[in-house]
Amino acid sequence: MKPRVLVAGFATRHVAQSAYRAGYTVYAVDHYCDQDLSWYTRDSLAFNELADLPDRIVELASRHPVDALVVTSGAETVGTTIPLYGTPPAKVERLLDKLEIQRFFEGLDVPVPPLADGRFPAMVKPRRGAGGWRNAVVRTEEELHRWEEAWPDVPYVVQTLVDGLPSSVSCITDGRRARAIAVNRQILRGEGESAHGFAGSLTPFFHPLAGEMIAVAEKIAAASGSVGSVGIDFVAGERPWAIEINPRFQATLDTVEMAIGESVFEMHMNACCGVIAAMRPPARQVAVRQILFAKRDMRLDADLSDLAPRIADIPWPGAEFEEGQALLSVYGRGRSEDEAYVDLDRTLALVRRRLGEQKG
């Protein structure tokens, strides 16, 4: 019998869905608790601030017998008595600090953008945090000071700016060995204050440097001490620049599973028991995900649940959103990248038409 799993973190729908489809009984502690999270879980609890997360985990575990804890972003260092299936907090702490990641990559002798040391243009980003929404390109000392004024209490790193395409490699590791399972193109928001924030993914990403990224990612993942699902972010430019390591499930999970047709959650659980695949699974199709964001403060009264599985992270009718907040995820798939984007565009048009039918 498969263990009963509690998935906890800022956003858990993608992991809960993967676990449910793999035959696990799933519970969740989640910031959003979107409508479709309820489809895959026996019970769930919401939290507002990350400081509330540990208590909510304890509360949910007191209601139901739980055998395993699996964490997503924001919960990587939570300590509980529930057996953790993933990277231990003692290992993960260093990997959540981007300055420590810089030193880790340099120690492995993998290509990493050097610290800028007063040179411009440069990329400034918080030492901790996920999603890239506070990352920014600064071209002068004055622009760096403006970033510091906007985030006065946030420690940061400043790297030399490198050209290339944002990408990632999804890996499975048992703490010693690693196997890459997919190469992804990362889609960024591209405008506004959150221009470098995550806004979707394309899997597989056919790039001339894909083979090199796989080799570097497996080297990094194996050396990191991570266990289970781990992602390595790159900028694919003149070389595969290693950017970050994510020692947990990544936001690319949906497109990876759509592309390879296999359960990443099952791979994660197997890796936590010391078993990883001998070979990288082949891609069976191309999958793309795009996150839609609110263009203004709004209330979403429409029930979009009938559009699943072409959409996910589906709000409950009556949910309210601030300008710039994520609304939902939209998917496309096909035999090629072009076909996947055509399919995506069809669903985007349908969603936007439904949103346009709202009053106000």
Q: pLDDT digit string (tens) for 43-71?
A: 999 999 999 999 999 999 999 999 999 99
Q: How far is CA 164 from CA 185, 236, 238, 250, 313, in A?
A: 11, 5, 7, 21, 30
- Percent of the chain at pLDDT > 70 equals 99
Residue 351 has pLDDT above 80, yes or no: yes
- Within 10 angstroms of residue 56's Cβ, the number of other Cβ atoms is 17
Q: Above 60 in pLDDT, residue 137? A: yes
Q: What H or E segment, with its residue span, contains residue 16?
A: helix 13-21
Q: How far is the CA of 71 from the CAs of 6, 80, 109, 250, 266, in angstroms? A: 8, 11, 30, 11, 15
Tens digits of residue pLDDT in 312-349 = 999 999 999 999 999 999 999 999 999 999 999 999 99
Question: Looking at this protein, which amino acid is placed at residue 264?
Answer: V
What's the CA gap between 227 and 229, in Å, rounded?
Answer: 7
Distance of alpha carbon 208 from alpha carbon 10, whole angstroms: 34
Strand partners, 178: 173
**In the predicted structure, residue 96 carries a pLDDT above the cut 80:** yes
Question: Is 46:10 a contact under the CB 8 Å cutoff?
Answer: no
Cα–Cα distances in angstroms (integers) from residue 289 to residues 38, 154, 252, 266, 340, in the given order: 21, 30, 8, 22, 9
Q: Give CA angle at 251 (224, 282), nearest 5°.
A: 80
In the chain, the N- to C-terminal Cα span, in Å, equals 50
Q: pLDDT (tens digit, 9 = 90+) per residue, 143-153?
A: 999 999 999 99
For residue 192, pLDDT over 80 is answered with no
CB 243 within 8 A of CB 110: no
pLDDT confidence of 42, banded at 50, 70, 90?
A: very high
State the average pLDDT for the chain: 95
CA–CA separation, 77 and 100 (whole Å) = 16
Which H/E stretch holds residue 332? Answer: strand 326-334
Band of pLDDT at residue 105, cut at 50, 70 and 90: very high
What is the C-alpha separation between 1 and 297, in angstroms, rounded? 46
| Residues 6 or more apart in contact with residue 192 via CB below 8 angstroms | 324
Tell which wins on pLDDT, 23 or 356.
23
Residue 19 DSSP class: H
Structural domains present in the chain: 5-85 (3.40.50.20), 93-99+163-272 (3.30.470.20), 108-160 (3.30.1490), 288-356 (3.90.1170)
Encode burial over 12-45: b for 16+ CB neighbours within 10 A, e otherwise. bbbbbbbbbebebbbbbbbbbbbbbbbebbeebb
Reduce the DSSP state of residue 270 to 3 states and report it: helix
pLDDT band at 132 (very low <50, low <70, confident <90, very high): confident
- Mean predicted confidence (pLDDT) in 252-276: 98
